[in-house]
Amino acid sequence: MSTPTQLPSFWSRLSLAFGTFFKTIGDAEFAARVRDDQVGPIAAPAPAPVPTPAAAPAPVPVQLREATPDAALQLLTLLQREARLIDFAHENLSAYADADIGAAARVVHEGCARVLKDHFTIAPVRSEAEGSRVTLEEGFDASSVRLTGNVVGKAPFKGTLSHRGWKATDVRLPQLAKEHDASVLAPAEVEL
């Protein structure tokens, strides 16, 4: 049971008491909660809204996906394990000479490359050489090609390829045990 972090003062308690008095009289549902819940209405949460949206199949205008943190945490774990990326990012570079940073960067680079190679198949979006002229026909995939600069007129668009783009054609993240706590990115190590 949670304890309210800020206890109300005497005056606000007084107004709360009056408010509750009238609400108990006027709202049968609220009265029932006061009766059943020994704690009273102080900790009363908003009534659970779960059944309501299911009952009303109203059209949802915009649906934003919530990224699952597990996969992101997993990738961080891999990048820390193989490339020490979190260690590296937490360092204050101003304290070190470039030679020291360079040595550490080798660990990070080699490890990152390994993670990318082992867990993803990454291919360029466009196979043409960067700097070459490309033509985008009508109906091109706007999510994989971004137009920049003088974006006017209509397709076909002619332009110069400034970046080939990258596309993950396959993702092979490790499977996790049901009880596994993905938020531990690297366990503390204790040598006995």
Partner 1 sequence: MSAPVNARYAIGIDLGTTHSALSYVDLEASDGEKTAHGVLPIPQLSAPGTVEALPLLPSFLYLPHPDEMAPGELALPWNTDGETAVAGEMARSRGATTPIRLVSSAKSWLSHPSVDRRAAILPSDAPEEVTRVSPLEASTRYLQHLRRAWDSAHPEAPFDEQQVTVTIPASFDPGARELTAEAARNAGYTSATLLEEPQAALYSWIQGSGGAWRKQVKAGDIVLVVDVGGGTSDFSLIAILEREGKLEPHRVAVGDHILLGGDNMDLALAHLVARKLAANGTQLDAWQMRALTYGCRGAKEHLLADADATTWPIVVPSRGSKLIGGSIRTELTREEVTSFITDGFFPRVEASARPAVRTRAGLTQIGLPYAQDAAVTKHLSAFLARQAGATAELEGFEGRVAAEHTFLHPSAVLFNGGVFKSNILAQRVMDTINDWLYMEGAEPARMLEGADLDLAVARGAAYYSYARRGGGVRIRGGTARSYYVGVESSMPAIPGMEPPIQALCVAPFGMEEGTELELPGQEFGLVVGEPVTFRFFGSTTRRQDQIGDVLDFWGPDELQEMNEIQATLPADGRTPGDVVQVTLHALATEAGTLELAAVARDGQRWKVEFDVRSAS
Rounded Cα gap, residues 7 and 5, in angstroms: 6
- The DSSP symbol for 128 reads S
- The SS3 assignment for 2 reads coil
Helices (H), 3-162: 10-26, 28-36, 51-55, 69-83, 85-89, 98-119
Tokens representing 163?
């970046």
User: Of these, 84, 120, 126, 185, which contacts partner 1 (CB under 8 A)?
Assistant: 84
**In whole angstroms, how large is the CA radius of gyration of the chain?**
29
Interface characters, 116-155, with partner 1 (x: CB under 8 A): ----------------------------------------
CB 167, min distance to partner 1, A: 23
179: contact with partner 1 by CB under 8 A: yes
Query: Can residue 190 be called a binding residue for partner 1 (CB under 8 A)?
Result: no
User: Please, which residue, 158 or 172, has the CB nearer to partner 1?
Assistant: 172
Residue closer to partner 1 by CB (options 54, 177) is: 177
Q: How far is CA 145 from the centre of its chain?
A: 24
Residues that bind partner 1 (CB under 8 A): 74, 77, 81, 84, 87-88, 90-91, 93, 95-96, 99-101, 103-104, 106-108, 110, 172, 174-181, 189
